[in-house]
Amino acid sequence: MSAPPPATPDDYYRLTVPLLLTVALVGVFAFIQVYSVQSILPELQRDLNASVVEIGNAVGMTVLAVALISPFIGMLSDALGRKWLITVSVFALAVPTALMSQVQSVHGLLVLRFLQGLAVPGVSVVMIAYVGEEFRGASMVRVMTGYVAGTVLGGFLGRFLMGHLTEFMAWRTAFGLMAVLNLAGAWLVWRGLPPSRHFTANVRFADSLSTLGRVLRNPALQAACALGFTVLFALVGLFTFVNLHLAAEPYRFSSGDLANIFSVYLLGVVVTPLAGRFISRVGSRRTVLTAVAISALGVLGALAPWASGIVVALAVAACGVFVTQSVTMSFIAHRVTSGRSLASGLYYGAYYCGGFAGAWGCGIAYTLGGWPGTVATLCAVQVLGWLVAWRFMPGPAPSPDTTGGSPPVQRPRISE
C-alpha cells in the first residue's frame, strides 16, 4: 500500500469558529492597551499638566517601543518558537498597565507607556509568522484578516473601556482594571491557541544575520515597510489629535463622548474580514490604492464643522486604513517564506516608526496650525503612501526562488 501524501497545514488546522475566535482574541489582547489612553488624553493633559506634544507622546512612546524592539523579537522567535512567546507577551502587558495606577507625572506615564510597547511585538510580530507557517492560500488570508479584525476590536475596546471607566472612577483605578483584563487574556491565549506544527528553529546567530540581509533585499518587503510607515502615521495622528479637537470648543466632548467616537472602529471588524474575500479578485495592489484613497478622503472630511460629519469622516478614514493594513500583512506572508518572523519584525519596526512620527509630527502640526494643520499633514503622508503602492508594490508573484521572496507554487496564490 502506498504511503499517504504529506499533510498540509490546512489538514492540521481546519478553519473552525473556535480557531478563528482564538486568533481574533490574540489580536484583541495584544492591542487593548496600545491606544487606550487616546480617549482620556484631555483628562491626562489636565491632571498631569502636560503640553500638547507631551500628551501626544503618551501614544507615541508606546509605538516607538514597538518599532525599536520588533526586529529583535523576530530573531528571538525564529530561534525559540511562537506560542509561548505570544502568551508571555500578553501577560507582560499587564505589568506596566498595573503600575500606571500609581503614576504621578507625565514623564512617569511616558516611561510606563514605553514599557507597554516593549511587550506588544511578542504578539504582533510573532503572530504573522505563526499564521504564515500554519496556513496556506485562502485559509491564510481568512485567518490573517480574522487576526487583524481582532486587533481592530482590541484597539476599540481599549479606548472605549478607558473612556467610560473614567466616567465612574479615577483613571488610575481604571488602569488597574485594564491590567486584570490582560491577565485573563494571557490565560485564554494559552488555552486556545493551537501549538505550532511547522515551526523550524534557527538558533544560529550567523544564520539570522544572513536571513536579515536576504529579507532586507526583498523589494516586496521594502514596499510594504514604506507603506506601513504611512498607514500608522495617518491612524495615530488622526485618532490622537481629534480627541483634543473635539474636547475643545465648540464641541466640549467628555471622556465618555470621546470613547463613543471610537465605535467607528467596529466598522473595521466587519470590513476587514470582508476585504479578505475580495483580495484574490481585485489584487493586492489595486485594493491598497483604493483603500488609501478612501482613507485620505475621510481625513479631509474630518474638517467638517459639525461633530456628526467628523464622526462619519473618521469611519471612512479608519476603514481605508484597516483594509490597507490587512492586505499589506497578507502580502508579506505570501511574499516572504523564510525568516518570516524577522520580516514581520522589520515591517512592524517601520509601521510603528510611522505611528511615533504621526504622534510627534501631528503634535507639532496641531500646536502650530490647529486641526486644519493636522489634517493637511495627514493628507500629505497619505498621498506619499499611495505613490509608494502605485510605484513599488509588485504584481503577481513569480515562481519561487532561493531568496525567500516568493511563495511555493503548490500554494493557492492570491492575485496581486
State the pLDDT at residue 399. Answer: 45
Question: Does residue 3 form part of some domain?
Answer: no
State the pLDDT at residue 161. Answer: 93
| CB atoms closer than 10 angstroms to residue 213 | 10
CB 326 within 8 A of CB 24: no
User: Which CATH number characterizes residue 315's domain?
Assistant: 1.20.1250.20
Separation CA 223–CA 117 (nearest Å): 24
- 254 residue type, one letter: S
Q: Residue 35 has which C-alpha cell?
A: 491606544
Q: How many domains is the chain partitioned into structurally?
A: 1
| Rounded mean pLDDT, 160-185 | 93
Q: How confident is the model at residue 406 (pLDDT cuts 50, 70, 90)?
A: very low
Q: How confident is the model at residue 1 (pLDDT cuts 50, 70, 90)?
A: very low
State the pLDDT at residue 207. Answer: 63
Q: What percent of the chain has pLDDT over 90?
A: 43
Range from 60-69, 122-131, 178-187 carrying the lowest mean pLDDT: 122-131
Question: Does residue 405 form part of some domain?
Answer: no
- pTM of the prediction? 0.76
Range of the domain at 156: 13-193+214-392
Question: Does residue 410 form part of some domain?
Answer: no
Average pLDDT of the chain to the nearest whole number: 82
| Rounded mean pLDDT, 19-44 | 90
CB 296 within 8 A of CB 233: no
CB 93 within 8 A of CB 116: yes
State the pLDDT at residue 2. Answer: 40
Question: Does residue 37 form part of some domain?
Answer: yes
State the pLDDT at residue 6. Answer: 44
Question: Does residue 18 form part of some domain?
Answer: yes
Among 64-78, 205-219, 244-258, top mean pLDDT goes to: 244-258
State the pLDDT at residue 223. Answer: 86
State the pLDDT at residue 238. Answer: 93
pLDDT digits over 210-231, tens only?
767 777 777 778 888 999 899 8
- 136 residue type, one letter: R
HEC readout, the chain: CCCCCCCCHHHHCCCCHHHHHHHHHHHHHHHCCCCHHHHHHHHHHHHCCCCHHHHHHHHHHHHHHHHHHHHHHHHHHHHHCCHHHHHHHHHHCHHHHHHHHHCCCHHHHHHHHHHHHHHCHHHHHHHHHHHHHHCCHHHHHHHHHHHHHHHHHHHHHHHHHHHHHCCCCCHHHHHHHHHHHHHHHHHHHHHHCCCCCCCCCCCCHHHHHHHHHHHHCCHHHHHHHHHHHHHHHHHHHHHHHHHHHHHCCCCCCCHHHHHHHHHHHHHHHHHHHHHHHHHHHHCHHHHHHHHHHHHHHHHHHCCCCCHHHHHHHHHHHHHHHHHHHHHHHHHHHHHCCCCHHHHHHHHHHHHHHHHHHHHHHHHHHHHHHHHHHHHHHHHHHHHHHHHHHHHHCCCCCCCCCCCCCCCCCCCCCCCC
Question: Does residue 35 form part of some domain?
Answer: yes
State the pLDDT at residue 368. Answer: 94
pLDDT digits over 82-138, tens only?
888 999 999 999 999 999 999 999 999 999 999 999 999 898 888 877 887 787 777
Question: Does residue 184 form part of some domain?
Answer: yes
Question: Does residue 198 form part of some domain?
Answer: no
Separation CA 135–CA 140 (nearest Å): 5
Range from 100-104, 151-155, 156-160 carrying the lowest mean pLDDT: 151-155
Q: Look at residue 374 and tell me whether its pLDDT is greater than 70.
A: yes
Q: What percent of the chain has pLDDT over 70?
A: 84
Separation CA 290–CA 109 (nearest Å): 38
